[in-house]
Chains A and B, each alone.
Chain A
């Protein structure tokens, strides 16, 4: 399968197989008017199988979202057909307004102006909890 290489844009590589769609949704890539390619289950020497997202525009990307969905992913910034930056993404300590707390008893369920903040509480198990009610993020 061939996907054209991009001239200027972003390649999110080394995404754990199966997580690309979640990343696509949380990054809001569906609302872009440029081409976005999602490659699922690509063969990888390092990972066995992986997902890749190619965005055909140099848009601002929320690295916290990428680190939350898949801390092993890498981000490649391409300009004029050349790789100008390669970034490894770790898990962010704090997520602000990336995901919403689903606990109906949480104060964020009634006070709409509050930021939805999640804190990383277990790096090994990739667990985030709501900063207010400590409910675990899914």
Chain B
């Protein structure tokens, strides 16, 4: 049966664990998966630029033995002639076995999923959801820390507009024993509804601070985010806040030896390049893990669609 993934909450904890198990198996036995999507086509529909996510999906499909059709420039597509997302989804369904879509408008992926006859994976809908980034994050934490129980996870930077942060909190909060340290300037604090809906009902301990230095010694995981210019209506606000939290080697000395540092990338200057040499820096591993989790998800959705 056809099924789409728009939000990380579309996947149960059991399914998340299953996807991570498959990803681990892909990593251990890549040849076993090299032909699993033969004669299947992934269409990547990207209405706004994102080289990394698009290439990750495409590499994932190629490594499963499938084919890829790409729409990378909305200006040259029917969208520029005014075609609706609903119609685009219906048309592309005629060519594709599965669709990965990024769109600047929030909710666009749900509209596509409601109208497509093939599975749709949300590859980012504005500031709303980006579930496959969260899948990459979860696998990275599980691989590096062995699981989620007992972890203190620091989330730093733009916690207000950062969709990756909201999705990660929604996903991690379903695992027992996680606690949060929310590190941000006042203007970019985590929205209260995320706390009310994902953190407080489960009684998850959390603290909020403006100081990255104070938080560092407490953390098992530090998830850095970029203050994104495109999420601001006002450029002055962006310029004032963009350098609020920069992770450098001096701050890294305050962290535990087994800390891991994550970032959804691309970074601008919130993690200095010198940190890359620190073995605790895991953000490039995240990129690779993202490809494996996308492979795992593509496989799952194609198998479900065929059953």
Contact = CB atoms under 8 A, between A and B. Distances in A.
Interface string A94-123: 000000000101111111011000000110
Interface in B68-126: 84-86, 103-108, 110-111, 125-126
A109 B193 CA distance: 22
Given A113-B84, A133-B106, A134-B128, A107 B111 contact: yes
A132 interface: yes
A133 B107 contact: yes
A52 B126 CA distance: 43
Contact of B111 (A111, A121, A134, A136): A111
Interface residues of A, number: 19
Given A105-B126, A105-B127, A121-B197, A131 B84 contact: no
A133 B128 contact: yes
Given A105-B126, A113-B84, A134-B106, 7 more contacts: A107-B110, A113-B86, A114-B86, A114-B111, A132-B106, A132-B110, A132-B111
Contact of A130 (B85, B107, B197): B107
Nearest to B6: A132
A133 B85 CA distance: 15
Contacts of B104: 105
Nearest to B193: A136
Q: Chain B's interface: helix, strand, loop or mixed, by majority?
A: mixed
B185 to A, nearest CB: 22
Interface of B: 84-86, 103-108, 110-111, 125-128, 193, 197
Choose among A103, A107, A113, A133 the residue with the greatest number of B CB atoms under 10 Å from its CB. A107
A110 B82 CA distance: 10
Contacts of A106: 105-107
Contacts, number: 47
Contacts of B84: 111, 113
Nearest 8 A/B pairs, CB to CB? A132-B107, A133-B106, A107-B105, A107-B107, A133-B107, A107-B108, A105-B106, A105-B126
Contacts of B126: 105, 133
A136 B193 CA distance: 9
Contact of B110 (A121, A131, A135): A131
10 contacts: A103-B106, A105-B127, A106-B106, A107-B105, A107-B110, A113-B84, A114-B86, A122-B197, A132-B110, A133-B128
Contacts of B108: 107, 132
Contacts of A135: 106
A5 to B, nearest CB: 45
A134 B126 CA distance: 12
B85 A111 contact: yes
Interface in A41-76: none
A134 B125 CA distance: 12
A103 B106 CA distance: 9
Nearest to B166: A134
Contacts of A111: 84-86, 111
Contacts of B86: 111, 113-114
Choose among A110, A111, A121, A122 the residue with the greatest number of B CB atoms under 10 Å from its CB. A111
Nearest to B127: A105
Contacts of A107: 85, 103, 105-108, 110-111, 125
A114 B197 CA distance: 27
Nearest to B105: A107
Contacts of A105: 104-106, 126-127
Contacts of B103: 107
A54 to B, nearest CB: 38
A135 B105 CA distance: 13
B273 to A, nearest CB: 32
Contacts of B106: 103, 105-107, 132-135
B150 to A, nearest CB: 30
Contacts of B107: 106-108, 130-133
A111 B111 CA distance: 10
